[in-house]
Amino acid sequence: MTQAPRYFALIPAAGVGARMGAASPKQYMKIGGRPMLRHTLDAFLSSDLVAHTFVVVSPDDPYIDAVAPSHGVTILRCGGDSRMESVRNGLAVLASTLGPDDWVLVHDAARPGLTADLIEKLVSAIGDHPAGGLLALPIVDTVKRCIDGEAAGTVPRKGLWLAQTPQMFRYRLLSQALAATTDPNAITDDASAVEALGLSPKLVEGHPRNLKVTLPEDIRIAEMYLAVSQPEFV
């Protein structure tokens, strides 16, 4: 008898938010009155598909205990110097908890606009795809290459997508892909590590509300999306 697939969330939340330039790491900044990371965790807690959520923070993180709910979330204090190392360390800690065929949905703490509907859309579109997949958005603007503040060329946008998260892979594949990565700073998302193995993760159209909060001006945009509880895209 085949077992039903199990889905786990892994949220890297060990960044410092240098581009946000705030006094504390951006994942703890308030958005609509609540810490950004709490919105992110709640998206997974509200999904019936997700068996459990793990959040990776820095070993000396002083904020997480006040933010994570007491049920449904396990805190892993094993964050690394880059996003990739934080994910890799989290996967290593989970080696005896997850099976090789379990699915891991890696999602940035800094994307608080995720919804249970988007999680379901991703999981159902990926199905049993051997290379896993990710939410992403097709580029709609004209793309320029910038050199010294001037347009040095126009890059055809056909076929270009912006990667979002969650990015979901079976535990064994993602672990193998990240173990094979030698330069942690060269890999800015999980899918690139899988692509480097010669595989092609599936792209599933996400939504602008799932933006990554990176710069100060992103806070207001995220607040606007979070004020809309039932988006129109499903």
Ligand X SMILES: Nc1ccn([C@@H]2O[C@H](COP(=O)(O)OP(=O)(O)OP(=O)(O)O)[C@@H](O)[C@H]2O)c(=O)n1
CB count, 10 Å around CB of 179? 12
Query: Given the complex with ligand LQXTBERG, which of 128 and 183 has the nearer CB atom?
Result: 183
What character string, x for contact with ligand LQXTBERG (CB under 6 A) and - otherwise, covers 27-66? Answer: ----------------------------------------
CA 223/CA 87 separation, integer angstroms: 27
What character string, x for contact with ligand X (CB under 6 A) and - otherwise, covers 200-229? Answer: ------------x-x---------------
Please list the alpha-helical segments (H only) found in the chain: 36-45, 64-67, 83-93, 116-126, 171-179, 190-195, 218-226
Total number of residues that touch ligand LQXTBERG (CB under 6 A): 8
CA 154/CA 152 separation, integer angstroms: 7
Q: Which does 91 bind (CB under 5 to 8 A by kind): ligand LQXTBERG, ligand X, none?
A: none
Q: Which does 79 bind (CB under 5 to 8 A by kind): ligand LQXTBERG, ligand X, none?
A: ligand X
- Closest-CA residue to 193 (of 183, 208, 206): 183
Amino acid identity, residue 206? G
* Interface positions with ligand X (CB under 6 A): 12-19, 26-27, 56, 79-83, 86, 108-110, 212, 214
